[in-house]
Chains A and B, each alone.
Chain A
Amino acid sequence: MDAKKIELLAAQIRLETLRVIHSLGFGHVGGSMDLADLMAVLYGEEMRYDPKNPHWADRDWLVMSKGHAGPVVYATFGLMGFYPMEEAYTLNKPHTRFPSHTDRKLTPGVDLTTGSLGQGVSTAVGAAIGNKIDGRDNRVFCIVGDGEADEGQVWEAFHLAYAKKLDNIIFFIDKNGYQLDGSTEKILDHGDLAAKVSGFGLYTQEIDGHDVRAIYQAIENAKAKKGVPSCIVLDTIKAKGATFAEPKHEHSSQPSEEKWQEALAASEKALAALQNA
């Protein structure tokens, strides 16, 4: 993996995520921005897909179970050529193909509809079972929020993935430590989240969710494990790269236009620094 190339892509995803949300003026900045590095590794390196044929049967699947991170998905898919990037600047506008939460009926590249938390973990497991039945060697990548892991359904789905020995699915838990009402510790303390997942029988790794090399290596480790599903717990900083949201760990943000311009300028600067490096 060319780490510099992936870091550059991550910076592009961050900038485009901000632009997508800025087109509306408000939205789920926090939980989108912290996934840019993972999305860069997945779509820049790891995943098999064809932007011109999003329903290609042998594609790898992405299930953004924390569906409110739609903007980072739309930014990534736009950059990868699923549609012209500008089209995603219609977020949440009437009749848009880019709703706040990811929807398989609307957006090319979105494999499963999410929004009601916990449900994408089950549908991802169903897709993994379906692909196994058909003898495909593709994979399902499913991204779960740490707040989302409050939902019992997440653990029901992990349980089944383990029992069915699904080695064609990799879960990621975006452990940014915050949910809508505050820190996960204060709202509903998970204790050691990775240990819990591991206790469910999944091959579990915990890494720095902003280190593209670590993400890549963890995915490679997971791919090498046979007969067991994998989970990669990503230690992340909520809203990473969004100047107005990062210090406050905001779930959703509606900054002033001035603050937006500050954030966009900072993101453009970060991207330029990598381009010039």
Chain B
Amino acid sequence: MNLFDILGPIMVGPSSSHTAGAVRIGRVTMKLLGSVPKKAEIYLHGSFADTGVGHGTDKALIAGLLGMEPDDMRIPQSMEIAKEMGVDFCFREKHFREAHPNTAYLRVVDSNGKKLELQACSIGGGRILINEIDGIRADFNGDKPTLIVRNEDKPGHVAFVTTTLANAGINVATLVLNRSKRGGDAVIVIETDMNIPIEAIKEIENVSGIHKVTYLNLQE
């Protein structure tokens, strides 16, 4: 942990895991969707469900979906702001098997009908882990620039994606590959040490068999 993970972050209270972490989960969801959602169904599990209201977890998740950071003073009013913006949202409690106690599951839709489902947990000190995207295991935290590629489970996709990154001079920090079933859908999650240029992302998007490319850079 760096020095300012210890003395910091500057955040709206009361809990780094239940408030700051929840804002980050909402914000990652919004970034992955590409815009503020039109509709959001949010399921809370474990401690998020039990103590979420008292910790403002609900307000924090909505604030994140609106693009706010954990230190945004508008977090306590996020639900009113979302309603004014015409964002339709609801909360439900749900138990997820073997999930971390501070887990949220979000199903969001943007104004063009683009959908995203995401399961994430808040692991302490405001840090988060994205467990699943669209039902496939992902496991990344968003600290580094992250490329998420959804493709058919066929030979050559991983090689193509990594070659494209290498050609762009991008160093891969971590790479994880998961699939729903053999020959089904696969998800490649790549964390990199530097920003990925838009040209490289477009090149990957245009390959047949690659369904969806999402790039997450929370620093931007």
Same assembly = no
